[in-house]
Structure 1
Amino acid sequence: METRRLEAFVALVDAGGFRQAAEELFITQPALSQQIARLEKDVGLQLIDRTTRPITTTEAGREFYFRCRSVLDAMREISQLLEDAKEAQFGRVRIGVVPAMLFASPARAIRSFQSRFPEAEVSVRSIATSRLIEELEQGSVDVAVLLTRPDLKEVSVVDLFSEDYMVCLPSGHPLEAFEEVSFAQLREERLIQGLRAANPMGFDSVVSACMNAGFSPNSVSAFGSYLDHAGLVSAGMGVSFAPESFAHLQPNGVVYRKLVKPRASMTATVSWYPRRLDSVGRAFVDHCIAECTTGG
């Protein structure tokens, strides 16, 4: 059964006559009549009552008309989807971001991607590292922005950027008087850090900096984001670390100071399964890498 015959039948019913329908379809009346006759032969039923003016459908033809409309509408939607796919403007991408990156360039990349592809369906969730890696593996998220390189089979991982740490001090701390703080000055401090599994490169960078400064760190493990750690600092539980992109955030009760001698840093990554992504997912990964590796 040819689609053009379905289109001719729908046009005929909508127009109420062969002459009007033929004009809309830019064909002759005999050609339209022939198409309708062939369609009726294909289905084995009379669809049009030709004895009335304007023409009407038979009972079978009326039901067939509504089914034809549904089929033709669905085919038009499919055609549009295929056209949009060529331009990477359809589909969806589900993005998981560790809380630490919600104020950094990956978040800005998500915003600019939505501006560039307004028809794309984009969802973003802030998820702790271990859970985010699980959801990436299970397929609950399509793309994961992390502070680690997940050890998953067939997953692709790209380092986006590295960012130096600042030290987060409680307001009124003696080191607040300094514009820059060295690791040697943190020798007697309790250092609040997240679990190593959540940010192995950043964790090891801090430990290495302490060792290079001549001491073994007195570390306190803490869950949550850098802002959660700042809350613990405000409560007098120690000092913590945060990437320099947090400098514009100023939680009550804490101050940030630049860390030197030596520096410590964290590295952000983006991870995805190539075979699982549609055109929007692939477009987002490319966009995120381009935005973050150039902007940091």
Structure 2
Amino acid sequence: METRRLELFVTLVDAGGFKQAADSLFITAPALSQQISRLEKDVGVALIDRTTRPITPTEAGREFYYRCRRVLEAMQHITQLLDDQRSHEFGRVRVGIVPAMMFSSPARAVRQFIRAHPTATVQVRSIPTSLLVDELEQGSIDVAILLTEPDLKDLSSTALFGEEYLVALPDDHPLADVDEVDFAMLRNERILQGPRTANPTGYDAVVTACMRAGFSPRSLEVMGSYLDQAAMVSAGMGVCFIPKSLSDIPQHNVVYRTLVNPSVGLTTSISWFDRRLDAVGRAFVQHCITELSIPESLISKEGAS
């Protein structure tokens, strides 16, 4: 028994007439009638009462109709599962990550996913926060891993983990000899950070912490990554704030110290548009959420460039 004939039968019953059903199927009414007759021969019972207008199924035809629908729905479900599996194996996901995260756990999670899905195409780009949200909105990337949660219509976002800032100091700085730096101790320091337009959340986090410590920051705007800022600290141009995970990367003549009163932190999030993701994209998002859980010590959601 051919599945195609089951589809024709269901369409005929739904339409209530050979002409209406044939038109929707883009075949002729005689051709449809011939296929239904062959189906009736296959099952050995009349399925359609051709004497009524509109035509109606026989008693056996009604039961056959409901069973056909269940079979066709099951076939459609199986086809979708197979399509999803093929997409899962051979699909593509384009990921944008802020530069700071290229050296920490999100980058490791990406590598794990690539190893687990060798036939999938995973494209990874390092994109500054100031451009990352636009690229996501415009569809240039499918998933963004960033240090803020964008406020865009229909955008899905999940916080992944929190991380504290450390202060980067020249190794000959007087505060280099202490384990914890009270924020108020930075009152007279030149603070190196990116422009506010690059990452309003991170910029405001630093300014707010300074104000809470009782002073307005003397800031020097620096274009570039955290490591670029740390290099300028090494040159004696000021101090900067850097995610703790980046403190493992050696930087000549620079030391990192814990900040207190107040402490400052940031939250790494993953953002995506559901409608744009194929099976690989959905699997990637779930992998990141599973692998990058939020620690209990999550610090208040702040950001950084």
Which residue pairs with 2:126 in the alignment? Answer: 126
Give distance in 2, aligned partners of 1:173 and 1:136. 41
1:226 aligns with 2:226: yes
Percent sequence identity is: 58
Give distance in 2, aligned partners of 1:85 and 1:151. 32
Which residue pairs with 1:149 in the alignment? Answer: 149
Give distance in 2, aligned partners of 1:148 and 1:294. 14
1:128-186 CA distances to partner (integer Å, 9 max, x unpaired)?
Answer: 12222222122111111111222322221222222110000112111111111111111
Which residue pairs with 1:278 in the alignment? Answer: 278
User: Are the counterparts in 2 of residues 96 and 132 from structure 1 also a CA contact under 8 Å?
Assistant: yes
**Aligned structure 1 segments of 4 or more residues deviating by more than 4 angstroms:** none
Give distance in 2, aligned partners of 1:198 and 1:265. 18
1:161-220 CA distances to partner (integer Å, 9 max, x unpaired)?
Answer: 221100001121111111111111111001111233443333322222211211111112
Which residue pairs with 1:258 in the alignment? Answer: 258
Which residue pairs with 1:166 in the alignment? Answer: 166
Which residue pairs with 2:182 in the alignment? Answer: 182
Structure 2: 5+ residue runs without aligned partners?
A: 3-78, 299-305
The TM-score normalised by the length of structure 2 is: 0.66
Which residue pairs with 2:240 in the alignment? Answer: 240
Give distance in 1, aligned partners of 2:161 and 2:222. 24
Give distance in 2, aligned partners of 1:140 and 1:134. 9
Give distance in 1, aligned partners of 2:242 and 2:176. 16
Which residue pairs with 1:93 in the alignment? Answer: 93
Q: CA deviation at 1:290?
A: 1.6
Give distance in 1, aligned partners of 2:197 and 2:161. 19
The AA in structure 2 aligned to 1:232 is M
* Equivalent position SS for 1:282: helix
Structure 1: 5+ residue runs without aligned partners?
A: 3-78
* Equivalent position SS for 2:140: coil
* Equivalent position SS for 1:166: strand
User: Are the counterparts in 2 of residues 148 and 200 from structure 1 also a CA contact under 8 Å?
Assistant: no
Cα 1:291–1:195 shift into 2, 3 Å: farther
The TM-score normalised by the length of structure 1 is: 0.68
User: Are the counterparts in 2 of residues 201 and 267 from structure 1 also a CA contact under 8 Å?
Assistant: no
* Equivalent position SS for 1:188: coil
Give distance in 2, aligned partners of 1:167 and 1:145. 23
